[in-house]
Structure 1
Amino acid sequence: MGRDSGRQVQSFLSRLPAAAEGMRVSEVRLSGRRFRTVRAIAAACLLGGVAGWSLTAVGAIASGMADAYEVDLAMVGIFTTAFAATYALCQIPAGALVDRIGPRGVGAAGLSVIAVACLLATVEPWAGLAVAARLLAGVGASLCYVAGADLARASGAGPAGQGVFGGISAASGGIALVVVPWAAEALAWRSAWITSVVFAALGLLACLAAASSPGGRGTRPAPQEARRSVLKDPELYRLAAVHTVTFGGGIVLSNWAALILQRSWDIERTWAYATASLVLLTTVVSRPLGGLLARARRQRVRTATVLSLAAGALATLGLTRPGPLPLAVCWTLLLGLASGIPFAAVFASAQQRRSDRPASAVGLMNAHANALIFVGTPALGAAVDGGHISAALNVVAALWLLPLLVLPTSLGDRSNQ
């Protein structure tokens, strides 16, 4: 018995070096996988960030652009409308391209298109050239955003990764409102264009450095009943309703919140713009928070979505009742939370439901959201300019509640883990 025990001990000891070597190899593989995931998330955030930056960069120096181009502010608004038009129209085609050739190639193409468009716009301050550049940049931004969302999905980080991607994408638009005017002190009217080129160049480097499929493009097979065109999938439209209101509605309100606070709340211009920027900046926290919730407490996702829609409606109604500055801050913070929390769960549910065409599913949802931005931004602006602020905000508040009538059944059930 003693001799057998000795042999067993010797055999065990002889296997220790091989076991240790196996553990080291496993650790190296795990470390490499994590590094690839981080690179993919960084590239995804830059892709989404360039899209968000491009959306707001021109409007950040609207007065300076109007002076340089010798046009009125309405024409500067058309610069943004031109971008939003192609950005919305190209979402579904962009999704089809990503599904066919992958996010890195499409993302790199989108960044290149934005860089070329903005470089052309720096030639001279001619309104026709600016409109053409913005139309082209909108195409590039749609490619960037959908590619970034798919790269975040493929990273293996799950809804948490989608939340980080969404937070950075939205926050970059708010950061542009601060950085572009600061850069204008040296670059004048070209600051919107040149900063977009620099941002696109950084994104291109990160996109090319990212692994093509860090977490594996494959997920669980799509359910048989979902194997149809994304345009004929009713559940995707229900998910799109939530995304349209929370994302699109949040962007529309953020565009005019500063003017509303100035005119209705009598808040000084600097504080009004700082407070309005919180709608977008808060999403840096709320979108990743929603992603963590979708990953760790997926059974509560539907409840969180319902609460977010209700909170968005409440905050919008709150803006109709003028009060002190701290109250305005509270309402805009609540809008940022309501806009951001459903984002990751909605994206993850759509991508997992249509794992055969995940980017096309994102494109469908984002097309609806950007259509609301395209129509809603000038409509709310006209209402504010015409003195119908309360009535317009009541309509927007009702819009926040509409998705409750068609709440998606897949929320929380198919989140990526």
Structure 2
Amino acid sequence: MPVDRATRQAWLIWSTAVVVYVAALFHRTSLGVASLEAGERFEVGPAALGTFTVLQIGLYAAMQIPTGLLVDRFGPRRVLVAATLLMGLGQVLFAVAHSYPLGLAARAVLGVGDAMTWVSVLRLAAAHFPPRKFTVVMSLSAALGGAGNLVATVPLTLLLDHTGWTATFLGAGVLTALYSIVVALRVKETPDGVTPPPVERVPLRTVTRRVAEAWRTPSTRLGFWVHFTSMSTPALLGLLWGFPYLVEAQGLSRPQASAVLSMLVVVAIVSGPVIGTVIARRPEWRMPIVGSYLGTAVLCWVVLLGWPGGVVPLPVLYVVFGVLAVGNPASGVAFALVRDYNPLHRVSTASGMANVGGFGAISGMALAVGVVLDLVDFLPPAQAYRIAFVPVAAVLVLGVWRTGTWWRRARAAVFAAESRGEQVPVQIRRRRWDALAEA
């Protein structure tokens, strides 16, 4: 049964768990400002460098459905402990790696640990907070996770310059692994007085059916495409290609590039709680907010790709990166949709499926950018990056189309449920264009 109020214990448990997510965001994006050093350390070109992100994020995406099943089976506390240990181990290996294969292995371990964090935090929030607080807590979690992103911009650049590669990443890995003790001691999976659900050994056939049922739910599919489209392009810039683009194509100094890149974090931290509060009070505004962001994001990419000469003025770069940053908190709408329209026993599984959307898109885009940069390395950097970012814009347009399609279908499913006399989580008004989905 859902709890009826947020207790002091709930906030304590959530704060303990969200620190793991903050660490995950730091480790995930740490290669962003270290990408040029990584190319020199491992003696690789853009395509091989992109493979670091493709492997890490690809494993993250592939692990989302298994992570949801693991959380449903073993509980979020055990999964978070395992995630913390794996992220610490992965970063330690990355700190001491000098060969490209060992570097890839380190990022793979890191990606698996990272994959276990977000769904676990969402499950704890669902268990300890009332439904009306869930969206706010989810948005606050995402905003605080941005602190990890922020540390992975200017502060990490300064650390790398002053302490070096090995000391910086080794310290981060050891501290992360040690924090697993805090998680094991302080996180409880259910509030006091609430009996934990019995451990259920789910047969493979039931697991397959649960995944299929979640995917057939129109709002799960809508959540997948919302996440695919909203968070993929800002994350791609923050994870790998934003820093090289700003330094090599735009001619910025490393501190200037870090400052522009930090807009992806600062704006997300500020806008996240605002968006979360708005959609918690007016849930019918969730998709209009996402739609408005997607339209603006398309315009931003038109500016980046179409600016005469390819060198964009610094103030415009600040504005574009700041606008694109809103995609991270807007992507949280995906998980609110999943939670509202799936029964509790498959919320984690459906959340994992939605999470696959954005990170699957990032994997493909990161590899495409690296491959294209290798193919056009004879061009000036500004022109080369302009061509290399065309696949990114194409993926965004694809996501906008599919999001619109499943938005109509999800609305049709809600109207059909209302016509059968069923209660729906969010009341929405019928529009003329809803007839297109019902026809």
TM-score bucket of the superposed structures, by smaller chain: 0.7 to 0.9
Q: Deviations over 1:266-317 (max 9, x none)?
A: 5555323321331233211222222111211222222212112212212222
Indicate if the aligned counterparts of 1:50 and 1:196 stay in contact, CA closer than 8 A: no
Q: Secondary structure at the match of 2:189?
A: coil
Query: 2 CA distance for matches of 1:269 and 1:251?
Result: 19
Q: Deviations over 1:152-201 (max 9, x none)?
A: 33331310110011222344234213333333322533422431332353
Indicate if the aligned counterparts of 1:313 and 1:401 stay in contact, CA closer than 8 A: no
Out of 134, 140, 163, the position equivalent to 2:113 is: 140
Q: CA deviation at 1:396?
A: 4.7
Q: Report the RMSD for the aligned CA atoms in angstroms.
A: 3.2
Q: Do structure 1's residue 173 and structure 2's residue 149 form an aligned pair?
A: yes
**CA 1:180–1:372 in structure 2 vs 1: closer, same or farther (change >3 Å)?**
same
Of 389-398 and 134-143, more deviation after overlay is shown by 389-398
Query: Map of 1:79-98 to 2, 5 A cutoff?
Result: 79-98=52-71
Out of 291, 299, 308, the position equivalent to 2:284 is: 299
Query: 2 CA distance for matches of 1:253 and 1:127?
Result: 22
Query: 1 CA distance for matches of 2:181 and 2:297?
Result: 35
Q: What code does the residue aligned with 1:205 have? A: V
How many residues get paired? 378
Indicate if the aligned counterparts of 2:33 and 2:156 stay in contact, CA closer than 8 A: yes
Q: What code does the residue aligned with 2:163 have? A: A
Query: 2 CA distance for matches of 1:259 and 1:66?
Result: 11
Aligned to 1:45: 18
Q: CA deviation at 1:374?
A: 0.8
Q: Do structure 1's residue 272 and structure 2's residue 253 form an aligned pair?
A: no
User: What is the TM-score normalised by the length of structure 1?
Assistant: 0.79
Query: 1 CA distance for matches of 2:85 and 2:14?
Result: 20
Greater C-alpha Rg: 1
Query: 2 CA distance for matches of 1:113 and 1:264?
Result: 35
Aligned to 2:217: 233
Of 369-378 and 270-279, more deviation after overlay is shown by 270-279
Query: Map of 1:246-285 to 2, 5 A cutoff?
Result: 246-254=230-238, 255-261=240-246, 267-285=252-270
Q: CA deviation at 1:150?
A: 1.9
Indicate if the aligned counterparts of 2:33 and 2:258 stay in contact, CA closer than 8 A: no
Q: CA deviation at 1:72?
A: 5.1
**CA 1:155–1:103 in structure 2 vs 1: closer, same or farther (change >3 Å)?**
same
Query: 2 CA distance for matches of 1:231 and 1:319?
Result: 35
Query: 1 CA distance for matches of 2:37 and 2:244?
Result: 18
Query: 1 CA distance for matches of 2:184 and 2:149?
Result: 20
Q: CA deviation at 1:41?
A: 2.7
Aligned to 2:400: 401
Q: Secondary structure at the match of 1:38?
A: helix
**CA 1:108–1:349 in structure 2 vs 1: closer, same or farther (change >3 Å)?**
same
**CA 1:234–1:263 in structure 2 vs 1: closer, same or farther (change >3 Å)?**
same
Q: What code does the residue aligned with 1:45 have? A: V
Q: What code does the residue aligned with 1:175 have? A: V
Q: CA deviation at 1:45?
A: 2.1
Query: 2 CA distance for matches of 1:319 and 1:118?
Result: 33
Query: 2 CA distance for matches of 1:59 and 1:394?
Result: 20
State the identity as a percent: 21
Q: Do structure 1's residue 211 and structure 2's residue 188 form an aligned pair?
A: yes
Query: 2 CA distance for matches of 1:152 and 1:101?
Result: 16
Q: Secondary structure at the match of 2:98?
A: coil
**CA 1:179–1:153 in structure 2 vs 1: closer, same or farther (change >3 Å)?**
farther
Q: What code does the residue aligned with 2:397 have? A: A
User: What is the TM-score normalised by the length of structure 2?
Assistant: 0.75
Query: 2 CA distance for matches of 1:93 and 1:315?
Result: 35
Q: CA deviation at 1:394?
A: 4.4
**CA 1:314–1:256 in structure 2 vs 1: closer, same or farther (change >3 Å)?**
same
Q: CA deviation at 1:111?
A: 0.8
Q: Secondary structure at the match of 1:357?
A: helix
Query: 2 CA distance for matches of 1:115 and 1:341?
Result: 26
Aligned to 2:420: none
Query: 1 CA distance for matches of 2:185 and 2:341?
Result: 28
Q: Do structure 1's residue 198 and structure 2's residue 175 form an aligned pair?
A: yes
Of 295-304 and 171-180, more deviation after overlay is shown by 171-180
Out of 361, 365, 374, the position equivalent to 2:350 is: 361
**CA 1:251–1:34 in structure 2 vs 1: closer, same or farther (change >3 Å)?**
same
Q: Which runs of 5+ in 1 are unaligned?
A: 1-28, 219-225
**CA 1:138–1:114 in structure 2 vs 1: closer, same or farther (change >3 Å)?**
same
Q: Deviations over 1:77-108 (max 9, x none)?
A: 43333322221211110010111221111111
**CA 1:152–1:201 in structure 2 vs 1: closer, same or farther (change >3 Å)?**
farther
Aligned to 1:22: none
Aligned to 1:348: 336
Of 185-194 and 103-112, more deviation after overlay is shown by 185-194
Q: CA deviation at 1:243?
A: 0.8
Out of 386, 391, 395, the position equivalent to 1:389 is: 386
Q: What code does the residue aligned with 2:291 have? A: V
Indicate if the aligned counterparts of 1:36 and 1:211 stay in contact, CA closer than 8 A: no
Indicate if the aligned counterparts of 2:36 and 2:244 stay in contact, CA closer than 8 A: no
Query: Map of 1:50-89 to 2, 5 A cutoff?
Result: 50-69=23-42, 71=44, 74-89=47-62
Query: 2 CA distance for matches of 1:352 and 1:327?
Result: 38
Query: 1 CA distance for matches of 2:287 and 2:38?
Result: 44
